[in-house]
Structure 1
């Protein structure tokens, strides 16, 4: 496999701390360029990639013929436009989540992807971690019997008004930031889609959602979730069947907040515990992306999957608006 040469649009803190090192470390990838109008922000990237090329604008990076793929960590409201620009420039695109703010916007991205012949994907890194492929195998393989209920929680505390997550104009809010994980995790593991959202209680501050309590119906099981950026950090996903319970204790920030661990308890009190202390889902995401872009291998999280998660998000916001009216 030849090396896929990467550029990054913007010197975001998350890119510097997680994705840029992952691109640098991944097999089949090479981090070659960064676009930023603030050269001082490049220092953190140059610390591990001293030869990285700097571009003063995003357009200049997209025009660079030595770049094959771009990673886009820009504020949420810019994702669609710059993803399409990158595809039209002939680059593969890996864009941070949420890639869109409405499900129908994915139709533009899918059309641009198909027209370009390039790979485009949302950076939904958790599905690249082995704990999720293992959970899907166990749940769909009947290890917990018939699935009855899924419960998910993801929370952290951030009330910094200067942070883009707390700004409506940049597509901020707890659900766009981390709700995609609680929704996407259930969809990926079960392979099912929600039929309705009978209850969604949303609390807003400065026009962004900061707390959400959600109940959803899937064809054969129920679902509940808490998503908040005004609570102490916590994350978990539980799949509860009629013959057992499967838990992921650190599903979203694996090996950052805690060790990635899956536990399975079934009839007869048989307990299985599996841990992945060394896996980095950011590196695995880049490696899978490179393999798909260069060899045509199936990608775990195509745009069609991400569209389904955003559709569920849209359903939650609509249900929340109705609940607040009632």
Structure 2
């Protein structure tokens, strides 16, 4: 497979922290350009992050014929617009989550993907984490019984009114659920292997910012399984998932993140008193590098990509149902 050439839309902090180091370390991907609406800002960002080329507009980057793949970490309400423009310019696109805030937009992107033959993916790096892939295998094979219950948490303190997650109201993708609550919801759906039929939700809105700063919810699955989750932006950072069969409990600390220095684990506890634990250990891995490598491979070979638009469509339906349930104060059908 040839080495893929990547360009980044916008001088985003998430790209600087997560994807840029992984692209530079990749043996199959090459980061060659970044674009900003401000040429000076783009040049500074490029220099600071060892990116060879900078552009003073997004259009210039999309017009570069040497670029194969665009990474789109723009503000949430701009994801669909610039993903569409990038595909129309002949690029594959890996877009940050949430890719879309509406079902109709995802459906239009699916049609565009199919007609253009360009891959569009949503950047959920945890799909590419060997630890969670192994956990999924254990649950699918029912080695410890059938998954019946789960609880996921993602908290991250963020009360800065100028931060993009607070600066845009929830209708534009701001708030805790759109930004970080999507992680436990998405991993839960993945582990159950089916989509919820109905959901309930309670949201504590920041009245000044018009975004949810503390949200809890319940997902009911057609097999009878249930999942709860909690997310918020006024609590100390914490991510975790607990999953249950009738006979065992699974504990997954720092669920949605990888560790490039230390072994990663999940633990399985039986029903004895005290419980006997089995630990599954995994070598350190950069899940963002694996995500980029897998996306490039899928773009060039046509192989499936874990963060598919079909996954995005199902996720968007669930998230919108959760917002609806928060308003109605009752369970809503997905």
Q: Same fold (TM over 0.5)?
A: yes
- Check whether the contact 2:42–2:56 (CA below 8 A) recurs between aligned residues: no
Query: Which residue is equivalent to 1:62?
Result: 62
Matches within 5 A, 1:71-150: 71-150=71-150
Query: Which residue is equivalent to 1:24?
Result: 24
Any stretches of 5+ residues in structure 1 without a counterpart? Answer: none
- Check whether the contact 1:11–1:42 (CA below 8 A) recurs between aligned residues: no
What's the offset of the Cα at 1:72?
Answer: 0.4
Name segments (4+ residues, structure 1) moved above 6 Å. Answer: 256-259
CA–CA separation in structure 2 for the residues paired with 1:272 and 1:179? 29
The one of 229, 248, 251 equivalent to 2:255 is 251
Q: Which is worse superposed, 91-100 or 211-220?
A: 211-220
What's the offset of the Cα at 1:132?
Answer: 1.4
- Check whether the contact 2:201–2:329 (CA below 8 A) recurs between aligned residues: yes
Q: TM-score, normalised by structure 2?
A: 0.91
CA–CA separation in structure 2 for the residues paired with 1:160 and 1:256? 29
Any stretches of 5+ residues in structure 2 without a counterpart? Answer: none
Matches within 5 A, 1:268-287: 269-276=275-282, 278-287=284-293
What's the offset of the Cα at 1:47?
Answer: 4.2
What's the offset of the Cα at 1:272?
Answer: 2.0
The one of 214, 218, 222 equivalent to 1:215 is 218
CA distance 1:88–1:284, shift in 2 (3 Å): same
What's the offset of the Cα at 1:143?
Answer: 2.6
The one of 292, 298, 301 equivalent to 1:295 is 301
Question: Are 1:188 and 2:190 an aligned pair?
Answer: yes
CA–CA separation in structure 1 for the residues paired with 2:296 and 2:263? 26
Give the number of aligned pairs.
Answer: 322
What's the offset of the Cα at 1:168?
Answer: 2.8
Per-residue CA deviations over 1:124-176 (Å, capped at 9, x if unaligned) read 11111111111110111113312221100110110000001002354211011
Q: Which is worse superposed, 62-71 or 134-143?
A: 134-143
- Check whether the contact 2:146–2:246 (CA below 8 A) recurs between aligned residues: yes
Per-residue CA deviations over 1:244-297 (Å, capped at 9, x if unaligned) read 111211111333899642111235644221234521110010010011111222
CA–CA separation in structure 2 for the residues paired with 1:48 and 1:229? 29
Alpha-carbon RMSD across the aligned residues, in angstroms, is 1.9
The one of 289, 313, 325 equivalent to 1:319 is 325
